[in-house]
Amino acid sequence: MDTKNESFIDRLGQRRSLARWRRAARLADQMRLGLLRTVREDAVQLRRELDRVLHVADQRLTLPLIGSDAIRRPLGTDWAWRPELWRGPVVPVGHAAVANRAMLGGEATVFHDCEVSELTARQLRNRHETDLAPFGLRLDVFRFDGTFLSVVLDLPLEAVQGLRLNHMIRLNCKVEMEKPIEIFARLNVRHGPNTEQLVRELPLSQEDTWVEFDLAYSKINEKRVERAWVDLIFEGPEMNQIVIRDLTLSRHPRAEL
């Protein structure tokens, strides 16, 4: 049997199956209970398989595609990276009443000092036409009795390989909030027994924003750099919903004067 005939038979079978379930839905309130129970069991099994197909199809067909590595790169960029939280599905996908040091995937950790956590953190699927990242991070903060809230991102080893004092590290992000708050980005670079810290406030007058860390103003020992991480620090987050639609980091040499 050729493919054309198989396709025709498949479509014919699908139409008959659809007609059967339409008839079952129309007659459900008149069926004998024994027959209705059998029809319901069949419907539950069918729905389970349909839900699996829809779940996979939605994940694969929704733009931007999972694993997308479309990143805005400054001229001369020698390293660029989107953390897994914004690149692909993570486990666990979220937390309610988030505990201190709770992790989302293997690279992002939530820190706070609340006695009673009224904070939720969850990865969400981006669906906006303007989104470059497949996923985003949503923080819902209700009553907040702590003094700090931050999300820490561990940078891969590639970020510090060949790191020099003439490098600029750029953080791009897309942020949405219910009400304005201050958000700070802190770059931490460990070199030997010391850790250098550079802090920048994100200019949040628009959703797409960026800051740069100029390592020329640091005291990093280039020969002893071991690792790096970034803290996103949220000031006064109480009664707010914060959505970080995208976050990327890149590295490029600063222009010589």
Domains along the chain with CATH numbers:
3-61 (no CATH), 79-253 (2.60.120)
Neighbour-count burial for 35-73, b at 16+ CB within 10 Å, e otherwise: eeeebeeeeeeeeeeeeeeeeeeeeeeeebeeebeebeb
Q: Mean pLDDT of successive 10-residue segments in the chain (257 residues)?
A: 59 82 88 89 86 70 63 86 92 92 95 95 87 92 95 96 94 94 97 95 87 94 95 96 96 80
CA angle 147, 153, 159 (to 5 degrees): 140
Q: Name the DSSP class of 168.
A: E
Report the C-alpha gap between 131 and 64 in whole angstroms: 7
Say which residues have a Cβ less than 8 Å from residue 192's Cβ, sequence separation at least 6. Answer: 221, 224, 226
Q: Name the DSSP class of 224.
A: G
Half-sphere exposure of 152 (CA within 13 A, CB side): 14
pLDDT at site 115: 94
pLDDT at site 3: 46
pLDDT at site 10: 76
Q: Supply the pTM of this predicted model.
A: 0.74
pLDDT at site 69: 67
Q: Which segments of the chain does DSSP mark as H helices, in order?
A: 3-27, 33-61, 84-87
pLDDT at site 73: 82
pLDDT at site 12: 73
